[in-house]
Amino acid sequence: MSPRYFKKSKPIETEDGIQARSRRGDIGEQWWSRRFVEVVESYSISNRIRRGKRYARKGQVLELIVDTGEVTAAVQGSRPTPYRVSIGGAALDDDQWSRVEEALASRAAFVAQLLAGQMPPDIEEAFAECDHSLFPRSYREMSTRCSCPDSANPCKHLAAVFFLLAERFDDNPFAMLQWRGRYRDQLLENLRALRGDGDPDSPHGTAAPEEVLCVDDNEAFWRCGDEIDEVDFRIPNVSVPDATLQALGDAPSSIAELREELSALYHHMLTGR
Amino acid sequence: MLIFHLHFDASGSGHLWAEDSTLYEIDRPVDSSSDGGFHPFCADGETLCGHIVEMLPILDLRDFRADRIQLTLPTTAFGPAPSPHLVGNTERDVGEPAPWEVSTLSTRGLALLDVLDAFADAPASISVGESFRYWRVASGLADEWVQGGRVLPGVDNDGQRPRAVWRGRPSTAGDFSRLQRLGDAMPPVLRAITAAPGDGDGAITNPSSRDVLSTALDAFADALCRERLAESASVSSGDDDPARRWLAALTTSVGHFDAPDPDLPELETALDEWTGTAAQEDSGVRLCFRLHPPLTDSTDESSDDVDKISISEGSWRLEFLLQASDEPTLLVDAATVWESTGKTRKLLDQRLEYPQEKLLQELGRALQLFAPLKRALNRSKPDSMELSATEAHRFLRESSPLLERSRFGIILPDWWMDPTGRLGIKLRARSKDRQDVDPAVASVSIMDLMDFQWQVALGDETLSRSDLEHLAQLKMPLVRVGGRWVSVNSEDIERGLALLDDGVPSPSITDVLRAGAGLDDNGPGGLPVVDAEFDGILEELFDSDVDDRLDAATTPPGFQGELRDYQKRGLAWLAFLEDLGFGACLADDMGLGKTIQVLARLLAERHDHPDPGPTLVVAPLSVVGNWRNEAQEFAPELNVCVHHGSDRVCRENLSDLVAEHDLVITTYGVVRNDIEAMGEIRWHRVVLDEAQKIKNSTAQRTRAIRRLDTHHRLALTGTPVENRLVELWSIMEFLNPGLMGSEKSFRRNIARPVEQRGDERKTRILRRLTGPFILRRLKTDSSIISDLPDKIEIREWCHLSEEQVTLYKAATDKLLGHLENADGMQYRGLVLKLIGQLKAICNHPRQFHSGDGAIRGRAGKLERLEELAAHILEAGDRALIFSQYPTMARLIGHRLEDRFGRPTLLLDGQTPQKRRQQMIDEFQSHDGPPFFLLSLRAAGTGLTLTAANHVIHYDRWWNPAVEDQATDRTYRIGQTDDVMVHKLICKGTIEEAIDRTIERKRDLADSVLSDGDDWLTELSTDEIRKMVTLSDEHF
A116 and A231 co-located in one domain = no
> Does pLDDT of B635 surpass 70?
yes
Distance between CA B553 and CA B574 in Å, rounded?
A: 10
A164 and A254 co-located in one domain = no
Residue B1024 confidence class, pLDDT cut points 50, 70, 90: confident
Q: Do domains B546-785 and B793-1034 have the same CATH topology?
A: yes
User: What is the rounded average pLDDT of the residues B730-736?
Assistant: 91
> Does pLDDT of B440 surpass 60?
no
Strands B461-463 and B2-8: unpaired
> Does pLDDT of B280 surpass 50?
no
A67 and A167 co-located in one domain = yes
The verdict on a CB contact (< 8 Å) between B380 and A214 is no
pLDDT value for A14? 81
On whether any CB of chain B is under 8 Å from the CB of A109, the answer is yes
How far does A47 lie from chain B, in Å, by closest CA?
33
Distance between CA B141 and CA B137 in Å, rounded?
A: 7
Q: Could you say which residues from 39 to 98 on chain B have a Cβ atom under 8 Å away from some Cβ of chain A? A: 72-74, 81, 83-85, 89-90, 92, 94, 97
Residue B212 confidence class, pLDDT cut points 50, 70, 90: very high
Which residue of chain B comes nearest to A213, CA vs CA?
B188
Distance between CA B685 and CA B705 in Å, rounded?
A: 12
The verdict on a CB contact (< 8 Å) between A108 and B379 is yes
Partners of B798 in the beta sheet? B986
Our CA angle for B175, B178, B179, nearest 5°, is 80
Q: Within its chain, how far is the Cα of B14 from the centroid? A: 22
Residue B1015 confidence class, pLDDT cut points 50, 70, 90: low
Taking only the tens place, the pLDDT of each residue in B408-430 is 888 877 666 555 566 788 888 88
A38 and A154 co-located in one domain = yes
> For B382, which of A108, A113, A201 is closest by C-beta distance?
A108
User: What is the rounded average pLDDT of the residues A10-16?
Assistant: 80
Provide, as residue numbers in chain A, all residues whose Cβ is less than 8 Å from the Cβ of B364: 109, 111-118
On whether any CB of chain B is under 8 Å from the CB of A2, the answer is no
The verdict on a CB contact (< 8 Å) between A116 and B361 is yes
Domain ranges of chain B: 2-277, 285-412, 420-538, 546-785, 793-1034
Residue B103 confidence class, pLDDT cut points 50, 70, 90: very high
Provide, as residue numbers in chain B, all residues whose Cβ is less than 8 Å from the Cβ of A111: 357, 360, 364
Provide, as residue numbers in chain B, all residues whose Cβ is less than 8 Å from the Cβ of A196: 341
Distance between CA B235 and CA A124 in Å, rounded?
A: 49
Alpha helices in B477-593 (DSSP H): 490-502, 509-517, 536-542, 546-549, 565-580
> For A243, which of B250, B357, B405 is closest by C-beta distance?
B405
How far does A229 lie from chain B, in Å, by closest CA?
9
Least confident of A196-200, B381-385, B858-862: A196-200
The verdict on a CB contact (< 8 Å) between A222 and B277 is no
Instruction: Give the number of other Cβ atoms within 10 Å of residue A202's Cβ.
Output: 7
Distance between CA A112 and CA A108 in Å, rounded?
A: 6
Least confident of A177-191, A240-254, B128-142: A240-254
pLDDT value for B960? 75
Instruction: Give the number of other Cβ atoms within 10 Å of residue B312's Cβ.
Output: 18
User: Which of B213, B274, B762 should one mutate to test binding to chain A, selecting the residue with the greatest count of A CBs within 10 A?
Assistant: B274
| Cα distances (Å, whole numbers) of residue B824 to B814, B831, B838, B908, B1020 | 19, 11, 22, 34, 12
> Does pLDDT of B308 surpass 60?
yes
Provide, as residue numbers in chain A, all residues whose Cβ is less than 8 Å from the Cβ of B133: 224, 228
Instruction: Give the number of other Cβ atoms within 10 Å of residue A84's Cβ.
Output: 15
Provide, as residue numbers in chain B, all residues whose Cβ is less than 8 Å from the Cβ of A117: 364
Residue B276 confidence class, pLDDT cut points 50, 70, 90: low
**DSSP codes, A71-131:** EEEEE--SSSSPEEEEEE-----HHHHHHHHHHHHT-HHHHHHHHTT---TTHHHHHHHTT
On whether any CB of chain A is under 8 Å from the CB of B324, the answer is no
Instruction: Give the number of other Cβ atoms within 10 Å of residue B711's Cβ.
Output: 15
| Residue B91 φ/ψ, nearest 5 degrees | -125, 40
The percentage of chain B sitting over the pLDDT mark of 90, rounded to a whole number, equals 23
Q: Could you say which residues from 184 to 203 on chain B have a Cβ atom under 8 Å away from some Cβ of chain A? A: 184-189, 191-192
pLDDT value for B861? 93
Q: Tell me how many domains chain A contains.
A: 2
Distance between CA B370 and CA A116 in Å, rounded?
A: 14
Provide, as residue numbers in chain A, all residues whose Cβ is less than 8 Å from the Cβ of B417: 234, 237
Q: Within its chain, how far is the Cα of B938 from the centroid? A: 41
User: Which of A213, A245, A266 should one mutate to test binding to chain B, selecting the residue with the greatest count of B CBs within 10 A?
Assistant: A213
> Does pLDDT of B631 surpass 70?
yes
Distance between CA B274 and CA A259 in Å, rounded?
A: 11
Whether ipTM tops 0.95, in short, is no
Distance between CA B847 and CA B891 in Å, rounded?
A: 8
User: What SS3 state is found at B76?
Assistant: strand
How far does B30 lie from chain A, in Å, by closest CA?
19
Among B550, B552, B540, residue whose Cα is nearest residue B516: B540
- Could you tell me if B367 and B377 are in contact, meaning their C-beta atoms sit under 8 angstroms apart? yes
Residue B986 confidence class, pLDDT cut points 50, 70, 90: very high
Distance between CA B688 and CA B619 in Å, rounded?
A: 6
Among B265, B293, B4, residue whose Cα is nearest residue B128: B4
Provide, as residue numbers in chain B, all residues whose Cβ is less than 8 Å from the Cβ of A230: 181
Residue B88 confidence class, pLDDT cut points 50, 70, 90: low
On whether any CB of chain A is under 8 Å from the CB of B357, the answer is yes
For chains A and B, count residue pairs whose Cβ atoms are closer than 8 Å: 263
- Could you tell me if B381 and A108 are in contact, meaning their C-beta atoms sit under 8 angstroms apart? yes
Q: Could you say which residues from 206 to 225 on chain A have a Cβ atom under 8 Å away from some Cβ of chain B? A: 211, 213-225
Which residue of chain A comes nearest to B229, CA vs CA?
A269
On whether any CB of chain A is under 8 Å from the CB of B394, the answer is no
User: Which of A29, A189, A228, A260 should one mutate to test binding to chain B, selecting the residue with the greatest count of B CBs within 10 A?
Assistant: A228
Count Cβ neighbours within 10 Å for each residue of A219-230 and write b for 16 or more, e otherwise.
Answer: ebbbbbbeebee
> Does pLDDT of B310 surpass 70?
no
A183 and A64 co-located in one domain = yes
User: What is the rounded average pLDDT of the residues B806-817?
Assistant: 88
pLDDT value for A207? 33
Provide, as residue numbers in chain B, all residues whose Cβ is less than 8 Å from the Cβ of A198: 341-342
Radius of gyration of chain A (CA): 26
> Does pLDDT of B663 surpass 90?
yes
Taking only the tens place, the pLDDT of each residue in B175-201 is 777 888 899 899 999 999 985 544 445
How far does A126 lie from chain B, in Å, by closest CA?
12
> Does pLDDT of B995 surpass 50?
yes
Which residue of chain B comes nearest to A227, CA vs CA?
B185
Q: Cβ neighbours of residue B556 under 8 Å, at least 6 residues apart?
A: B571, B600, B603, B604, B607
Least confident of A150-154, B399-403, B499-503, B570-574: B499-503
A99 and A48 co-located in one domain = yes
Provide, as residue numbers in chain A, all residues whose Cβ is less than 8 Å from the Cβ of B140: 231, 233
Which residue of chain B comes nearest to A270, CA vs CA?
B147
On whether any CB of chain B is under 8 Å from the CB of A262, the answer is yes
Distance between CA B302 and CA B206 in Å, rounded?
A: 62
User: What is the rounded average pLDDT of the residues B93-116?
Assistant: 86
Taking only the tens place, the pLDDT of each residue in B326-368 is 666 677 889 888 887 666 666 666 667 778 888 999 999 899 8
Asked which of A195, A227, A247 is the last residue of a domain, the reply is A195
| Residue A202 φ/ψ, nearest 5 degrees | -95, 140
Angle between helices B960-967 and B990-1004 (to 10 degrees): 90
Range of the domain at A117: 31-195
A189 and A222 co-located in one domain = no
- Could you tell me if B922 and B903 are in contact, meaning their C-beta atoms sit under 8 angstroms apart? no
| Cα distances (Å, whole numbers) of residue A273 to A239, B230, B233, B494, B747 | 14, 12, 8, 20, 19
Q: Could you say which residues from 146 to 185 on chain B have a Cβ atom under 8 Å away from some Cβ of chain A? A: 146-153, 169, 171, 174, 178, 181-182, 184-185
pLDDT value for B132? 92
**Which of B687 and B114 is assigned the larger pLDDT?**
B687
User: What is the rounded average pLDDT of the residues A247-270?
Assistant: 82
Distance between CA B978 and CA B963 in Å, rounded?
A: 18
Among B963, B395, B577, B967, residue whose Cα is nearest residue A239: B395
The verdict on a CB contact (< 8 Å) between A228 and B364 is no
> Does pLDDT of B298 surpass 50?
no
Residue B302 confidence class, pLDDT cut points 50, 70, 90: very low
> Does pLDDT of B443 surpass 70?
no
Which residue of chain A comes nearest to B522, CA vs CA?
A271
Strands B774-775 and B350-353: unpaired
User: What is the rounded average pLDDT of the residues B387-397?
Assistant: 84
Contacts 24+ apart (CB under 8 A), A14-19: A14/A58, A14/A59, A14/A60, A14/A62, A14/A76, A16/A59, A16/A62, A17/A58, A17/A59, A17/A60, A17/A61, A17/A62, A17/A76, A18/A59, A18/A61, A18/A62, A18/A63, A18/A64, A18/A164, A19/A56, A19/A57, A19/A58, A19/A59
Amino acid letter, residue B1009:
L
Residue A1 confidence class, pLDDT cut points 50, 70, 90: very low
Work out the burial of residue B539: count CB atoms within 10 Å of its CB; fewer than 13 is exposed, 13-18 middle, 19 or more buried: middle
**Which of A253 and B277 is assigned the larger pLDDT?**
A253
Among A181, A202, A198, residue whose Cα is nearest residue A189: A198
A179 and A243 co-located in one domain = no
Q: Which helix (H) or strand (E) holds B694?
A: none
Mean pLDDT for chain B overall: 81
Amino acid letter, residue B408:
F
Among B794, B172, B257, residue whose Cα is nearest residue B247: B257
Taking only the tens place, the pLDDT of each residue in A71-84 is 899 998 888 888 99
> For B191, which of A213, A224, A226 is closest by C-beta distance?
A213
> Does pLDDT of B689 surpass 90?
yes
Q: Kindly report the CATH number that applies to the domain delimited by B546-785.
A: 3.40.50.10810
> For A269, which of B229, B271, B360 is closest by C-beta distance?
B229
On whether any CB of chain A is under 8 Å from the CB of B615, the answer is no
User: Which of B226, B264, B360, B485 should one mutate to test binding to chain A, selecting the residue with the greatest count of A CBs within 10 A?
Assistant: B360
Among B793, B908, B910, B804, residue whose Cα is nearest residue B861: B804
Task: Report the topology of domain B793-1034.
Answer: Rossmann fold (3.40.50)
- Could you tell me if B806 and B768 are in contact, meaning their C-beta atoms sit under 8 angstroms apart? no
A101 and A36 co-located in one domain = yes
How far does B3 lie from chain A, in Å, by closest CA?
12
| Cα distances (Å, whole numbers) of residue B867 to B589, B861, B1010 | 14, 10, 34
Angle between helices B465-474 and B490-502 (to 10 degrees): 160
> Does pLDDT of B911 surpass 70?
yes
Residue B267 confidence class, pLDDT cut points 50, 70, 90: confident
User: What is the rounded average pLDDT of the residues B551-570?
Assistant: 88
How far does A258 lie from chain B, in Å, by closest CA?
7
User: What is the rounded average pLDDT of the residues B134-145?
Assistant: 92
**DSSP codes, B978-1017:** -EEEEEEEETTSHHHHHHHHHHHHHHHT---SPSSSGGGG
| Residue A170 φ/ψ, nearest 5 degrees | -50, -50
